[in-house]
Amino acid sequence: MTYTTTPMRKKDMSTNHWRRFMVWLVIGTFQPVEAFAAEALTVSFDDVTQGQLPTGWTIDATNPAGRLAEWRAEADSNAPSRPNVLTLKTVHDTSGSVFHLCWTRDIAFEDGEIGVKVRANTGKEDQGGGLIWRVRDAKNYYVPPYNPLERNFRLYYVKDGERTQIASVRGIELKASEWFRIKVTQHGAKIEGYLNGKKYLEAKDETFKAAGGVGF
């Protein structure tokens, strides 16, 4: 599944995201010339050994106060790409200011579009999640989480560990137990956020201008 018409390069590693993200990533970069770079990447975790992380991916957290969460590849018969998903299996630190991450520096995203498939399985205080991009480290990145409990879709930047909201919409009805798609496009400072193909968010922000890592 992809939203680009550029040639696609496939790398097996299925993705699943906070609570449970089956991830698809579509990555593109604008060059300092006219045309869009004819390069796209789809990432799945299907060839990752179950119970392990894909090579080059790191478990991390923003503002951790205790043990890091446990992420791993698992078999899931309902995965959009079978057999695996990447799941946030166990959370040890439930502090409200902690954001649990799994990301890689091996994929650098600056401009173009990037997306993920998500399923929120559990969570009494918070559910859902979103991808992160232009990641410098665990304290600096963009993130657009959808929360089935609160029915909101928001766009934030996290800078030096502090989260700042730059766009938000409420009243979106997506069930917590079903897969949904988040897509983000960014061109320079302009950012747009989509859920299941419908645009809900639009903003301009220049907090992070350079390419950075991606993840959840």
Run of H or E including 39: none
Identify the CA nearest to 2 among candidates 42, 30, 45, 44: 42
The pLDDT assigned to 24 comes to 52
The pLDDT assigned to 148 comes to 84
The residue-averaged pLDDT of 136-151 equals: 93
Contact 199, 208 (CB under 8 A): no
- Cα-based distances in Å from 105 to 112, 118, 133: 17, 21, 10
Say whether pLDDT at 38 is over 90. Answer: no
Say whether pLDDT at 8 is over 60. Answer: no
The residue-averaged pLDDT of 69-85 equals: 88
Task: Please state the domain extents for the chain.
Answer: 8-215
Q: Is the pTM of this model over 0.85?
A: no
Strand partners, 162: 159
Say whether pLDDT at 1 is over 80. Answer: no
Residue 89's pLDDT band, with cuts at 50, 70 and 90, is confident
CATH of domain 8-215: 2.60.120.560
Contact 216, 116 (CB under 8 A): yes
The pLDDT assigned to 153 comes to 95
Say whether pLDDT at 194 is over 90. Answer: yes
